């Protein structure tokens, strides 16, 4: 609005200056009226006032038109500024959302990288511990003393003796369960049990061999490593259970018992024992080689 007032003042000053200049020229150019009659000052003033009013109205109309155009242009500028401000705010909001999304993705990626690094470090530390443990064990073995050599020799002797007794038990068992097998062959049961297998008195050697192995283990178990000792304890308990609950009772004739059912129970017990004995021998063999 200050610009509009300034324009109006400039126009008014121009009109006043133009009117004065026009009055001066007219007074010089018209010394007398039409037909040689002198022109009065009042008529000149009236004519000048009329012209002045006409110019004023024209200038007012032009000024109103200019003011309207200026106001219209100002309105367009304000609307453009308002639209630009809205677009700027929307762009800022999108930038904030994008920054938050990128920041969240970066945090997740950083957490995953830290987790992978931690897992890798744990794996490497485990490997390092195993390597250090193996190195210390190797150093301990190389730094043997007469006492440790004597204990190692006794461990090897006790393990070998248990192995021999277990091998004798296995051969006594195989000679009844499947006598066609040679020593060292994998154990298999024939489709039908042999008549010798079903005689109770033929199992005396197996029972004696089992008792001898258990007795030797009970005496020398202190020389075995912990895992071997625990496995042999389970083997002896399973051997005793099979012999006393499944094999011996089914070798004796039971009044009213179903022969097919008795043979099925006996067959399953023999098959189980034929797998347990080789597993125990393998454990003793591994323990002996480690010594």
Q: Is 34 left (phi over 0), alpha (psi -120 to 50) or beta?
A: beta
Q: Is residue 134 part of a domain?
A: no
For 64-121, what is each residue's pLDDT tens digit?
Answer: 777 778 878 778 878 877 887 777 777 777 777 776 777 677 777 778 877 887 788 7
Which pair of tokens denotes residue 147?
């006492």
pTM of this structure = 0.50
Alpha-carbon separation of residue 156 from 163, 209, 233 (angstroms) = 10, 21, 19
Q: Specify whether 96 is located in the same domain as 181.
A: no
Domain extent for 95: 2-102
Q: Is residue 120 part of a domain?
A: no
The total number of structural domains that make up the chain: 2
- What integer pLDDT is reported at residue 36 of this predicted model? 46
Q: Is residue 109 part of a domain?
A: no
Q: Specify whether 74 is located in the same domain as 207.
A: no
CB 163 within 8 A of CB 281: yes
Q: Is residue 254 part of a domain?
A: yes
Q: Specify whether 187 is located in the same domain as 241.
A: yes
- What integer pLDDT is reported at residue 35 of this predicted model? 46
Contacts of 220 (CB under 8 A, 6+ apart): 158, 161, 162
- What integer pLDDT is reported at residue 259 of this predicted model? 81
- What integer pLDDT is reported at residue 260 of this predicted model? 83
Q: Is residue 91 part of a domain?
A: yes
Is 70 exceeded by the pLDDT of residue 143?
no
Q: Specify whether 158 is located in the same domain as 281.
A: yes
Q: Specify whether 166 is located in the same domain as 229.
A: yes
For 187-213, what is each residue's pLDDT tens digit?
Answer: 889 988 888 888 888 899 999 999 999
């Amino acid at each position: 609005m200050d610009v509009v007032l300034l324009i109006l003042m400039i126009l008014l000053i121009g009109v006043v200056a133009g009117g004065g200049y026009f009055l001066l020229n007219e007074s010089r150019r018209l010394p007398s009226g039409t037909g040689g009659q002198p022109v009065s000052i009042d008529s000149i003033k009236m004519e000048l006032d009329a012209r002045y009013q006409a110019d004023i109205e024209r200038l007012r109309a032009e000024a109103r038109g200019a003011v309207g155009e200026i106001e219209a242009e100002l309105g367009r500028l304000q609307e453009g500024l308002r639209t630009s401000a809205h677009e700027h705010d929307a762009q800022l909001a999108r930038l904030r959302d994008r920054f938050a999304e990128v920041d969240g993705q970066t945090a997740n990626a950083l957490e995953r990288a830290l987790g992978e690094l931690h897992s890798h470090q744990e794996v490497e530390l485990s490997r390092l511990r195993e390597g250090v443990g193996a190195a210390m064990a190797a150093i301990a073995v190389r730094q043997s003393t007469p006492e440790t050599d004597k204990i190692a020799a006794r461990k090897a002797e006790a393990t070998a003796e248990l192995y021999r007794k277990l091998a004798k038990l296995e051969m006594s068992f195989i000679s009844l369960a499947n006598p066609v097998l040679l020593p060292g062959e994998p154990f298999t049961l024939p489709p039908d049990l042999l008549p010798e297998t079903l005689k109770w008195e033929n199992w005396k050697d197996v029972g004696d061999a089992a008792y001898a192995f258990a007795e030797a283990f009970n005496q020398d178990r202190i020389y075995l490593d912990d895992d071997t000792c625990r496995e042999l304890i389970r083997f002896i308990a399973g051997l005793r259970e099979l012999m006393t609950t499944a094999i011996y009772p089914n070798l004796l004739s039971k009044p009213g018992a179903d022969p097919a059912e008795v043979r099925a129970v006996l067959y399953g017990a023999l098959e189980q024992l034929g797998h347990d004995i080789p597993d125990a021998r393998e454990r003793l063999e591994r323990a002996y080689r480690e010594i």
